[in-house]
């Protein structure tokens, strides 16, 4: 009997522990259920051969899952989501279609357990028909949304990449983001008031919290704190090239937001303040043998990198703005002795096309060199050897098109598809170019942003990429950064510096908006005249 009573007592104690354990687990599960909040306000948008989805963000989420069904009650099938942190999704249907969609969030309880929420109520989505004009608008919208929806929530600055630390923001691409805001307003993607609010957020952050060195910004900046994020060991201070790309956008914003209301008046005031604060002349190191601008300056290492900005490359806007500065200009001799240095031009013929601008590489440069400085600076207004930069750039594009056609038997997709530039690649980010620096990697930004120069060829490549490869290449912010079909590789991410030119350069093809607006800045036209006169009459007259 004693043994029985002892055994019975142990059983009762064990049952008490089990009851207590289930009570604790029940309480924890109830807490976990409360933590897992379902996304709200899921909505669908009709796009060309695509259904676009957006929903409100959920706090503390680790990502989102999206499902699709032909019927409102299912069965639903999980869709691949390459960027699950986004509250935006693009379902490439490839034609006309109607489907139903639902989304849920994945959260954490703080102890490492991932908790799915309930599914949102399903919504009906329809893809739209495809024609050239609505596709152009959709490509612009998708690139614009990288800056508008994925811009840093605290500062409005452009995040460097969709896969990097989200606090790393790029200064040059943030200038491109201001051009994108102008395009977005003009195309009706957002209201003028919404665009102005976003521009003001960025400009106010840069003015009040952005770390500067002699008025210039670093390459990378923390979008939360405004402090510099070193780009490399000796590049932990000013980057005058990235600053110039920013200031190009700042001057565009100053000219674009011209209304007299308080918000746009403040945009103009902040823009002018940032522009006038840059000490361009500081970046001409007088101890150097030539008066070229220097790319970097560090508060810790000074001129350690000592990298001259010599042409031809993507940096012409640096010299144009440095000459145009109303407060800290450089002398014209910096342009002629620095920018138009000995390697600036060389006559050569490639694939039956004459090239004069630049000399490296012989088959032409990566195409970003024809884009970054020229979102606002109109290449039709600038001349070299009697030919406009626009015409020089058109020849660069035509050489790339013929080069791609010549490599169609070596690299898969080449011929109908073209566009080589600095981009992500299967072995990492590289400054790809025709010839020795080509490994079969193409970047949609290269061909699309060349639309003003070679519209027929650019549009043909765009339609081919979208219609034949859209299911592989198209994501929430448009075409992914790059692809290499020979190696069965697609980047599945976005780089801000490649997203930035797409919408503005398409708009320059369609209406000339960005060129017209930037060129209205009163500081720019005298510099354009100075440089063109120097080309015409000899450099000595404009020293």
pLDDT at residue 502 above 90?
A: yes
Can you give the pTM of this predicted structure? 0.92
For residue 127, count CB atoms less than 10 angstroms from its CB and return exposed for 0-12, middle for 13-18, buried for 19 or more: buried
Give the whole-angstrom CA distance, residue 205 versus residue 177: 14
Q: Which CATH architecture has domain 43-129?
A: Sandwich (2.60)
Say if residue 268's pLDDT is above 90: yes
- Compute how many other C-beta atoms are within 10 angstroms of the C-beta atom of residue 530: 17
**CA atoms of 500 and 160, how far apart (whole Å):** 11
Give the position of tokens 């674009």: 256
Task: State in Å, rounded, how far the first CA of the chain is from the last one.
Answer: 114
Kindly provide the residue ranges of all beta strands, DSSP E only, lying in 165-311, ordered along the sequence: 168-170, 220-222, 228-229, 238-239, 296-297
| Residue 315, pLDDT score | 97
State the pLDDT confidence band at 35, using cuts at 50, 70 and 90. low
pLDDT tens for 513-522 read: 999 999 999 9
Strand-pair category, 489-490 with 483-484: antiparallel
* pLDDT mean over 444-469: 98
Predicted pLDDT of residue 360: 65
Residue 343: its pLDDT value, please? 79
* Alpha-carbon gap, residue 399 to 402, rounded angstroms: 5
Owner of token pair 């990235």: 242
pLDDT at residue number 157: 98
Measured in degrees and rounded to the nearest 5, phi and psi for residue 106 equal: -115, 125
Q: How confident is the model at residue 18 (pLDDT cuts 50, 70, 90)?
A: very low
The pLDDT assigned to 12 comes to 44
More confident residue, 426 or 112: 426
**134-542 CATH, one of 3.30.565.10, 1.25.40.10, 1.10.1740.10, 1.50.10.140:** 1.50.10.140
Whether residue 96 has pLDDT greater than 60: yes
pLDDT in tens, 176-234: 999 999 999 999 999 999 999 999 999 999 999 999 999 999 999 999 999 999 999 99
Identify the band that residue 7 occupies on the pLDDT scale cut at 50, 70 and 90.
very low
Q: Is the pLDDT of residue 27 over 90?
A: no
- Domain positions in the chain are 43-129, 134-542
Helix (H) / strand (E) containing 88: strand 88-92
pLDDT tens-digit map of 335-345: 999 999 877 98
CA angle 330-335-337, nearest 5°? Answer: 115
């Amino acid at each position: 009997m004693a043994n029985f009573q002892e055994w019975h007592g142990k059983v009762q104690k064990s049952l008490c522990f089990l009851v207590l354990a289930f009570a604790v687990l029940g309480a924890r599960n109830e807490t976990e259920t409360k933590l897992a909040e379902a996304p709200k306000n899921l909505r669908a948008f009709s796009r060309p051969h695509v259904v676009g989805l957006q929903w409100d963000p959920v706090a503390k989420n680790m990502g989102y899952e999206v499902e699709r069904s032909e019927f409102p009650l299912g069965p639903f099938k999980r869709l691949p989501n390459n960027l699950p942190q986004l509250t935006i999704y693009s379902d490439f249907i490839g034609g006309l279609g109607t489907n139903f969609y639902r989304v849920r969030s994945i959260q954490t309880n703080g102890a490492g357990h991932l908790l799915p929420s309930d599914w949102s109520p399903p919504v009906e989505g329809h893809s739209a028909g495809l024609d050239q004009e609505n596709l152009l608008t959709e490509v612009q919208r998708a690139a614009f949304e990288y800056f508008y929806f994925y811009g840093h929530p605290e500062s409005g600055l452009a995040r460097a990449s969709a896969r990097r630390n989200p606090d790393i923001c790029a200064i040059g691409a943030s200038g491109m983001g201001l051009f994108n805001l102008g395009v977005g307003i003009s195309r009706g993607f957002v209201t003028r008031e919404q665009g102005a609010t976003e521009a003001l957020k960025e400009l106010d952050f840069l003015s009040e919290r952005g770390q500067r060195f002699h008025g210039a910004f670093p390459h990378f900046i923390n979008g939360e704190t405004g402090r510099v994020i070193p780009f490399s060991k000796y590049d932990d201070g000013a980057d005058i090239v990235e600053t110039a790309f920013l200031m190009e956008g700042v001057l565009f914003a100053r000219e674009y937001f011209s209304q007299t209301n308080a918000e746009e008046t403040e945009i103009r005031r902040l823009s002018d303040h940032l522009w006038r604060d840059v000490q361009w002349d500081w970046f001409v190191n007088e101890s150097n043998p030539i008066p070229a601008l220097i790319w970097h300056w560090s508060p810790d290492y000074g001129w350690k990198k000592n990298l001259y900005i010599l042409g031809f490359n993507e940096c012409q806007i640096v010299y144009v703005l440095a000459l145009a500065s109303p407060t800290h200009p450089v002398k014209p001799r910096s342009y002629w002795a620095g920018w138009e240095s000995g390697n600036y031009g060389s006559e050569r013929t490639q694939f039956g096309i004459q090239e004069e601008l630049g000399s490296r590489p012989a088959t032409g440069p990566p195409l970003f060199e024809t884009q970054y400085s020229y979102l606002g600076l109109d290449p039709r207004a600038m001349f070299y050897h009697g030919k406009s930069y626009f015409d020089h750039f058109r020849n660069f594009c035509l050489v790339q098109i013929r080069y791609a056609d010549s490599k169609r038997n070596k690299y898969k997709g080449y011929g109908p598809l073209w566009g080589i530039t600095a981009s992500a690649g299967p072995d990492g980010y590289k400054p790809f170019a025709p010839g020795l620096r080509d490994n079969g990697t193409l970047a949609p930004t290269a061909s699309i942003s060349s639309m003003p120069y070679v519209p027929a060829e650019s549009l043909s490549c765009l339609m081919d990429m979208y219609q034949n490869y859209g299911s592989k290449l198209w994501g929430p912010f448009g075409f992914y950064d790059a692809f290499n079909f020979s190696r069965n590789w697609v980047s599945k991410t976005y780089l801000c510096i490649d997203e930035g030119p797409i919408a503005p350069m398409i708009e320059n093809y369609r209406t000339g908006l960005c060129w017209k607006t930037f060129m209205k800045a009163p500081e720019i036209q005298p510099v354009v005249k100075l440089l063109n006169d120097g080309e015409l009459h000899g450099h000595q007259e404009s020293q």
